[in-house]
Amino acid sequence: MLSSIGLRSRRYGSVLVGIIGLLGLALNTCPQLLKPQRRRIFWLLFKRQLYNSGLRAASINTIIAILLGVFVMSKAYSVIPNNMQFIDYYAQFFNIVVIREIGPLISGIILIARSASAVTAEVGQMQLYRQFDALSAVNMSPALVFLLPVFFAFPLSLLLMFFYFNLICVFTSYAVIELYHEGGITLMAFIRALLQQLTFTEVVVSMTKALVGGCLIGLASLFFGYNVQDRFTDVSRAISNSNTFQLFAFFVLNVGLSYLVYL
């Protein structure tokens, strides 16, 4: 059992080293964006990545946010009495459960399930069929074509998904309040109460979770995809390993940051 734990730790360690290497490569490639030709090709690929990872996730994000908003506010009613004077408690409950913890976590899981797997599969297949040779044949840098768009689009996508998810949750929660509450809480009063609960620290922590988490998820996708060897099953194995690592790393990041800042 000890050897199994040791082996797993070593494997995760080597993945982390690889991801740090990719981070270094991404930072090293950034100066190429100063050249207008490089910038225009990067911009095209960045927009494509942002559309795929951020915008196309909107529908599933909406459905989950609606369900979660209804669930959270229904739960709030089971522990907090139904009264106008408790609006601050509704807001506090919403803030702690959705904005601090579940919102970022669910958004991260959606990003991993939808976009990170797709990137790992895409890069894995390209590696399997030696398509990086084609890129070398036209003398284009894989770092600029694949690494930088993911490196910038994933954190930005996650940030947008956080924001979007929370926004939908706010409206759905208010819809539940409107349905059950008899005390006439207005949408503006609910939003005002929420904003009063929200601190600068919470905004910074949420942004950190999005930016660091998105970056980690994106780089891990590329790392596992790029390490595909000659067998077809390597692609499915890469997706599976990549998702496992990303879920683990993202949960550790979320729980770790929340523990450090809020507890």
Partner 1 sequence: MTCLQFDNVDLSYNDNVVFRQLNLRVNSGEIICIETGVLDGGSSLLKLAAGLCEPDAGNIIIEGLSLKDMTEQARFKATCMAFEAGGLLSIFTNYNNIAFPMLYHTRMSEKEIANHIEPLAEALAMSELLALEPHQLNDVQTRMMNLLRAMVFRPKLVLLDEVQSGMSHEMRENMLNVLLREQQQHQYAVVMTVTAGDRTDFADRVLAIHNHQLEEVQ
**Residues in contact with partner 1 by the rule CB under 8 A:** 36-38, 40-41, 44, 122, 125-126, 129-131, 133-141, 144
Please give the single-letter amino acid code of residue 185.
Answer: I
- At closest approach, how far in Å is the CB of 135 from partner 1? 6
Residue number with CB closer to partner 1 (98 or 121): 121
* Residue of 62, 57, 53 whose CA lies nearest to 118: 53
Pure H helices in the chain:
2-29, 36-53, 58-79, 87-94, 103-110, 117-128, 131-137, 142, 148-180, 187-197, 200-226, 233-262
* Residue of 204, 174, 144, 194 whose CA lies nearest to 66: 174
- At closest approach, how far in Å is the CB of 41 from partner 1? 5
Residue number with CB closer to partner 1 (58 or 135): 135
**What are the structure tokens assigned to 12, written together?**
């995760």
Residue number with CB closer to partner 1 (199 or 229): 229
- At closest approach, how far in Å is the CB of 248 from partner 1? 28
Residue number with CB closer to partner 1 (52 or 173): 52
SS3 state at 202: helix
- At closest approach, how far in Å is the CB of 173 from partner 1? 40
Tokens 């199994």 belong to residue: 4
Residue number with CB closer to partner 1 (121 or 210): 121
- At closest approach, how far in Å is the CB of 11 from partner 1? 28
